[in-house]
Structure 1
Amino acid sequence: SAVLRAREVLFEKTVTPSDVGKLNRLVIPKQHAEKHFPLPAMTTAMGMNPSPTKGVLINLEDRTGKVWRFRYSYWNSSQSYVLTKGWSRFVKEKNLRAGDVVCFERSTGPDRQLYIHWKVRSSPV
C-alpha cells in the first residue's frame, strides 16, 4: 500500500532497564548515532545553532502513522547520544519493557522520513 513506503532499517536497539527507568531517556549506541543521526550536521541543516548539548527535535513516525517528537542530544557527562523529551510518553503508550527492541527506519524516498518501530522481546525458547 502507499502507506507503507519503502524503508530501510537504520539500526535496532534492545531497550535496557535504565532506558525505561526514571531517567526518561533512551541511549542511542554511539556508532549508530554518529552514522545515522550526526548531530552537528542535523543542527546545521535545520538552521539551528549547532549546539549538540541542547540537541534537536526529531520527528519519528510509528507504524500507525502517529508522529512522535523527541529531543535528541549529546550528553558530555556520559559521552552518550540520547533521546530525552518525548521518550517517556512513548515508553508509557507502547508499554515498553527492558528487553524489547526499538527499531529506527528511514524511508528510501526523497522525503527521508524517519520511522520508529518496536517489537516485544521474543520469549526465550
Structure 2
Amino acid sequence: MEDDYETSKMLALTLSLLNTNPELDQVSTALTLCDPTWNYDTNQSKAEELDPATHNVPTFPRNPNHEKISGTNDTNKELVKKKRKLVVLGPRPSPKPRRPWPIRKILKASDLGNSSRLLVPKDSATNHFLRYLDDKFVQRVESDEGLGVTVQDYDTGTRHQLTFKFWSSAKSYILNGEWRGMFVQRRGLKEKDEIGLYWDASRAMFMFSLLQRA
C-alpha cells in the first residue's frame, strides 16, 4: 500500500511540473549554436572578445622604424623600375677606320675664306666617293646644282647638310654651302690644320674629322 501511495505521489508531482512549464515537453530538432530561449547577445559577446580591456589580450607597440623601412623598400623598387627602362641614346658616330682616312688635306687659305668651299682633289673624289654612286647621282654632281650630302662630324657627333659638286674652272670638286659656318667657324679651323674625310656607303654620308692642328 505504501508503495502505491508513493508512486501516485510522484506521478502527481510530475504532472504538476509539466503543467507549470509546458516547454519542457518540446524537443528542438533545429541544429543551432545556441538555444533561442537563452538570453545571449552575440554582438556584445563578439565585441567583448575583441576588446583587450576585457580579455587581457597582449598588445604590442608600433615599430617606429616600420615606415622608414617601407619607404626604403619603395625607393628601391622605383630604382629597379628606372633601371629596367630602355634608355634611347642619340645617333653615335661610327668608329674611325683603322686605315688612314682616304681623303686627307692640309687646309689652305682658300679653304677658309668667304667663298665657303672646301677643295677636294679630283682623284680623291673619284676613287673614294664617286665610284660608290649611281650614274644619276654622278650627273647631279657634275651639274651646276650639285648633289646635297650629309656630313657628320666624327669628333662632335653633329650632322650638317652641304653640297658636293664639280668646279669646272678649277677642274676639281668642292664641298660648299654651309662649309664656312658649320665647319670653319664652328670648329675654329685654321690654315695648315689637317682634316680627313671618307664616304660611309652604308649610311650614305661623309664622315669628317680634324686630324691634327697646325
Q: CA deviation at 1:68?
A: 1.5
The gaps in structure 2 that reach 5 residues or longer are 1-90
8 Å contact from structure 1 (residues 14, 100) kept in 2:
yes
- The match for 1:32 among 124, 127, 130 is 124
- The match for 1:5 among 84, 88, 94 is 94
Is 1:18 the counterpart of 2:97? The answer is no
Q: CA deviation at 1:7?
A: 4.0
SS at structure 1 position matched to 2:127: helix
Identical aligned pairs, as a percentage? 22
Q: Which has the larger radius of gyration?
A: 2
TM-score by length of 2: 0.48
Q: CA deviation at 1:12?
A: 1.0
The gaps in structure 1 that reach 5 residues or longer are none
Q: How does 1:110-121 map to 2 (within 5 A)?
A: 110-111=202-203, 113-121=205-213
- The match for 1:61 among 133, 152, 157 is 152
Aligned length: 118
**What residue number does 1:105 align with?**
198
SS at structure 1 position matched to 2:102: strand
- Which structure has more RCO (C-alpha within 8 Å, separation ≥ 6)? 1
**What residue number does 1:50 align with?**
140
Over the aligned positions, Cα root-mean-square deviation in angstroms equals: 2.8
8 Å contact from structure 1 (residues 73, 82) kept in 2:
yes
Q: For 2:146 and 2:174, locate their aligned partners in 1 and report how far apart those are by CA, in whole Å.
A: 9
